[in-house]
Structure 1
């Protein structure tokens, strides 16, 4: 469950409440008695807590290192932290360590989560021994600060809160992932059932005609010459319908583009209808069958629809349809960034599922995801099989 490649913008949207809280705790450390020896270490730990979802386990180890280094610096300088909250750690450090523990528990595999949490806890306890003892001038002479057991109980409560928060979000993430997988499986099942129904209703008609005419030819040998052309025509029509069904996958796609004998013009028409800044490249040295061309058009149309719904700050969309070595290569790439909110009307999230199923049923390869330089890219490779 190590965190995925979370971009900086999603990270900021997710972590800004924590960043504001830690900034407040850092500022509160300057109230009353002024000190700064603990500030560099506190800042480092707080920054690590904010960026922890990108690399949770590394953030835990780095946070422990920062606390240890800050403790050694204060020990060498002989300057105690200003108003420590727990075991020599100031308020900002305690809050940051709690946040890192919760994030590690949420995102990291169990064994690594235990190691990361234990490292932070051990270093925090040792910091109380290494750092010089704090004593406020406003304390009575006979007061030495919170007792050992009071700190143990308080620390146990804070650790329980951190671990409990991490486990709660971990369970919620697991439930969400299970729900998404179930919805995707249901969508795939619905796609297959729709395809099966149309195969039975449309193709079975032609197959039944072939069987009937073949039986007639067996019963009346003199009628073979008349029946064979009918069988051939019915077979060709059945093959064409099967290729169309495999190419479209959904029998309910009423808005799917119509393919003609000129795929290049068809692609240009889909691009023009999108109304987006498209840079089109088409290279078709050999003709593409209309049954396959319809799937190519559907891939381009669905990709441009996704770009319009999900991309912000778009300056271009590259659309490439090229035939090489008997394979149609379809590439749609843009330089947009993900929207900060869901598109109007929402999204079912099944567009990529349908495209992948469409390509795989045609014996092709499909991939889609974020580009290294920013934006989104869809790639599909479909083998060309001429209609007979």
Structure 2
């Protein structure tokens, strides 16, 4: 009798908390600079400009969004643009002028927050979203020209500063935008170069470690095999004259062979452990006889570095070992692909249930794919990928399909026969 479906949700609360702490350590200079600008603006112009306090809600909200922008830069850009727009509408309704403007009719603190958000979205977001987020902020700046107006400040009695020419305003806008875009592109290029250098260094270290283990394995096996050859030759020479000595040589050969096999297992196990440690996060490594425990381990490892994973398991008691291993590999590689390519995914659902003499595997995510959308074979950990998954499933007389889901995201389906010869 099949067990009831098992539902497991894997989340990483501790990693979220650590993420916010790291963000606070990284962003406190920006938060301090924006707070200082707001203080200077209010303390300098609060007597000169009526209703200046109406600027405070929008300014504070915009600064807060800029500080947390590295977590979701595209969303932050959209929220920042909406904040500028609604703040401009509010200032227009209450007729509160801007004492000092830099980009558009934005205050210096608002300008700094918008520039920071634009730099973050250009640095971190995919190209399409970077362009869209920057365009939204530019439109918000343009809208401030129509909705806000600058306060005429009396510098001396009887003298009012003339309005700033539009040409000077556009110069200031272009300067601010050039700084923001340039900073974003510069750090985007640095990030790409750093990732490539890190990947090359990790690959080189892994290769060096594997070569060292291979040399050690060769030395150990050569040592034991040499002893076995020597004992075999000795046993052959004394077999007719001293059968007891030949028996002792055969015992030594058996012991040497056992020691050689044990040494090989230890070294190969070390190599596999190194691959699990240095390889892609969530690599399943060596499968056990408990498919449910293996799937839960893979889901927990994937959720620790990616979106939460929801497991729905209804497993037969004793599936064929090759079927269990293939199910584990399909789930592992699908989760790896989801982490790499399902941008913006909030959850991944893994279902493993029996149906009509087969074990059905379904992995779905709600992200926005990149290479998936073009139907290209995407490699997972170890280069398995969609092509490898299909080949493995079809070798077991199963069925495999992968493609965009009906409601977005990406879906992988596989059915593997529980008994050999069924399809």
> TM over 0.5, yes or no?
yes
Of 257, 267, 277, the residue aligned with 1:235 is 257
Instruction: Report the Cα distance in structure 2 between the residues aligned to 1:356 and 1:233, rounded to whole angstroms.
Output: 39
Of 176, 179, 182, the residue aligned with 1:164 is 182
Of 241, 245, 250, the residue aligned with 2:267 is 245
| Residues 102 and 173, structure 2, Cα contact 8 Å, conserved in 1 | no
Greater shift, 95-104 or 214-223, is seen at 214-223
The equivalences for 1:149-188 within 5 A come to 149-188=167-206
The equivalences for 1:288-307 within 5 A come to none
Of 105, 126, 131, the residue aligned with 2:122 is 105
| Residues 41 and 70, structure 1, Cα contact 8 Å, conserved in 2 | yes
| Residues 153 and 160, structure 2, Cα contact 8 Å, conserved in 1 | no
Of 62, 66, 69, the residue aligned with 1:52 is 69
Deviations 1:17-59 (A, max 9, x none): 1111101111111133312121111111111111111111111
How many angstroms does 1:74 deviate by? 1.1
Deviations 1:106-130 (A, max 9, x none): 1111110111011101111111111
How many angstroms does 1:78 deviate by? 1.9
Of 253, 278, 296, the residue aligned with 1:353 is 278
How many angstroms does 1:245 deviate by? 1.9
SS across alignment from 1:182: helix
Q: How many residues are paired up?
A: 273
> Partner of 1:263 in structure 2?
none
Instruction: Report the Cα distance in structure 2 between the residues aligned to 1:158 and 1:8, rounded to whole angstroms.
Output: 29
> Partner of 2:80 in structure 1?
63
SS across alignment from 2:44: coil
- The alpha-carbon distance between structure 1 residues 9 and 351, as it changes in their structure 2 partners (threshold 3 A), is farther
Of 23, 28, 33, the residue aligned with 2:35 is 23
SS across alignment from 1:245: helix
- The alpha-carbon distance between structure 1 residues 108 and 145, as it changes in their structure 2 partners (threshold 3 A), is same
Instruction: Report the Cα distance in structure 1 between the residues aligned to 2:188 and 2:179, rounded to whole angstroms.
Output: 14
| Residues 214 and 231, structure 1, Cα contact 8 Å, conserved in 2 | yes
SS across alignment from 1:53: coil
| Residues 80 and 134, structure 1, Cα contact 8 Å, conserved in 2 | yes
TM-score (norm. length: structure 2): 0.56
Of 208, 228, 234, the residue aligned with 1:190 is 208
Instruction: Report the Cα distance in structure 2 between the residues aligned to 1:73 and 1:357, rounded to whole angstroms.
Output: 49
Deviations 1:254-307 (A, max 9, x none): xxxxxxxxxxxxxxxxxxxxxxxxxxxxxxxxxxxxxxxxx8xxx9xxxxxxxx
**Structure 1 residues not aligned, in runs of 5+:** 251-294, 300-349, 373-388
SS across alignment from 1:138: strand
Instruction: Report the Cα distance in structure 2 between the residues aligned to 1:157 and 1:26, rounded to whole angstroms.
Output: 21
| Residues 102 and 169, structure 2, Cα contact 8 Å, conserved in 1 | no
Instruction: Report the Cα distance in structure 1 between the residues aligned to 2:34 and 2:132, rounded to whole angstroms.
Output: 24
SS across alignment from 2:45: coil
Larger relative contact order (CA 8 Å, sep ≥ 6): 2
Instruction: Report the Cα distance in structure 1 between the residues aligned to 2:26 and 2:268, rounded to whole angstroms.
Output: 41
Deviations 1:54-100 (A, max 9, x none): 11111100000100000111111122223223321111100100011
How many angstroms does 1:230 deviate by? 3.7
Task: Determine if the alignment matches structure 1 residue 205 to structure 2 residue 196.
Answer: no
Instruction: Report the Cα distance in structure 2 between the residues aligned to 1:30 and 1:207, rounded to whole angstroms.
Output: 84
Instruction: Report the Cα distance in structure 1 between the residues aligned to 2:73 and 2:285, rounded to whole angstroms.
Output: 36
SS across alignment from 1:32: helix
SS across alignment from 1:7: helix
| Residues 60 and 117, structure 1, Cα contact 8 Å, conserved in 2 | yes
Greater shift, 51-60 or 362-371, is seen at 362-371
Instruction: Report the Cα distance in structure 2 between the residues aligned to 1:72 and 1:357, rounded to whole angstroms.
Output: 49
How many angstroms does 1:370 deviate by? 9.3
